[in-house]
Amino acid sequence: MRFKLLRRRLTISAPRMAVRSAMPWPLRWAVVAIVLGFCGAISLWAFEFGKSIAGLDTGAKEELVRLRADVEKLRAERDQAQSVLNTSGSLITAEKTARERLATQIKALESENQALRDDLGFFEKLIPSTGSDGVAIRGLHAEVMGGTQLKWQVLLMQPARNAAEFRGKLELSLSGTLAGKPWTMEMPGGAQGLQFRQYRRIEGMIDLPPQAVVKNVSAKLVEGTATRTVQSIKL
């Protein structure tokens, strides 16, 4: 019986045996990770060491320093160019504003100059003519504006010094053609009352009827029932 048991244990028919390690699997993975990390570190060190031996890193730091200096220089140049650009934009804006202001002033001066010329033309006629002592019409001017309005101006004066105040009225009449037929027109609203001592300038606008052609303008100065002076102009 003992022989049979011994033979069973020593022959192929003997039961299988399994040998297992007593180390738990988390610890195994930790050991494997440490070994792999160590191998990676050795590989990286070997790579860097090989680069230094081969001379690949020679001047890399100097090149990096040079590139950084170039970047700083370019940034400084960019900031300077941006500052110049901003200053130029401000100068252009100021110059444009000054130019517009100057153009406005020039237009105002031209208008004032024209007004002064008109006044000068009227005041030149204030010089008394020889032998004229009573009230007189020294300036009558009329101009058709756009074919629909008539602009008129009259300068009245008394040449005598210390003349008595004149009280009267001014009558203005127009004559010409309307649609090809003879036509006359009085000042709208009738005669204009006025009073002055030395001189008086009067002006106004008259709306013209369609198709009216003004050929003559007449101004009459009336005092009471007497006509003191009349002046006419042709257009």
Q: Tell me: the pLDDT tens digits for 41-99?
A: 777 776 666 666 555 555 667 777 888 888 888 888 888 888 887 887 788 888 888 88
Mean pLDDT of the chain: 77
pTM: predicted TM-score of the whole model, two decimal places:
0.45
- Indicate the residue type of 128: P
Looking at residue 217, its pLDDT comes to 92
Dist. CA 185–CA 218, nearest whole Å:
10
The domains found in the chain, sorted by start residue, are: 136-234 (2.60.40.10)
Gap between the Cα atoms of 136 and 172, Å rounded: 15
pLDDT of 130 above 70: no
Question: Looking at residues 206-210, what average pLDDT do you find?
Answer: 90
